């Protein structure tokens, strides 16, 4: 009876070892589909690529909110923002190695609220300036998301409607 238990344990250990060996050499299906060398997605974490703005897009909603989507070439080290009221503009500073410095490049915003987008690269800082067509600086939020930065701009002149009323 003792030999039977030992054989069962030995057989179970051998089966477990083969199972684990087979699992460790199996490639991830996502890695094969995406053409990656391994299952890690090194594109997001490739810190050898200089930080740059690859593209931007300004989207508006029916209620007047704007979303400015900034696609970066790599993950940033930090993202901060400031604003100016005369003229109204939102300034987003994105930290990371930018490669060579460059003077400001200005692109049309293609929107009734965001008139121009300016981009400057200096000493490890990518600065994106959103020039606004507004009499006053609207409320806004800046949200870094991996290699994207989203600037959400609230339309000016919106009246707040209370969602709850007090009982009298």
Query: In this predicted structure, what is the pLDDT of residue 41?
Result: 46
**Is residue 42 predicted with pLDDT exceeding 70?**
no
- Count other C-beta atoms under 10 Å from residue 63's C-beta: 8
Q: Is the pTM of this model over 0.85?
A: no
Contact 149, 79 (CB under 8 A): yes
Q: Sign of the CA dihedral 26, 29, 31, 35?
A: positive
**Is residue 94 predicted with pLDDT exceeding 90?**
yes
Percent of the residues in the chain that have a pLDDT greater than 70, as a whole number: 65
Measured CA to CA in angstroms, residue 65 lies from 83, 151, 157, 158 at distances of: 18, 10, 11, 10
């Amino acid at each position: 009876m003792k030999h039977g238990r030992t054989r069962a344990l030995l057989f179970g250990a051998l089966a477990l070892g083969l199972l684990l060996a087979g699992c460790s050499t199996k490639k991830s299906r996502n890695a094969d589909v995406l053409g990656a060398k391994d299952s890690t997605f090194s594109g997001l974490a490739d810190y050898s690529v200089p930080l740059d703005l690859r593209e931007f897009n300004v989207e508006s909603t029916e209620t007047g909110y704007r979303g400015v989507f900034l696609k970066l070439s790599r993950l940033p080290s930090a993202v901060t923002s400031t604003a100016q009221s005369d003229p109204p503009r939102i300034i987003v500073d994105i930290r990371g190695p930018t490669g060579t410095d460059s003077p400001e490049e200005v692109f049309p915003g293609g929107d009734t609220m965001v008139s121009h987008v300016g981009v400057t690269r200096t000493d490890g800082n990518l600065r994106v300036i959103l020039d606004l067509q507004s009499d006053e600086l609207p409320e806004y939020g800046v949200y870094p998301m991996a290699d994207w930065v989203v600037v959400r701009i609230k339309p000016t002149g919106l009246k707040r409607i209370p969602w709850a009323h007090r009982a009298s």
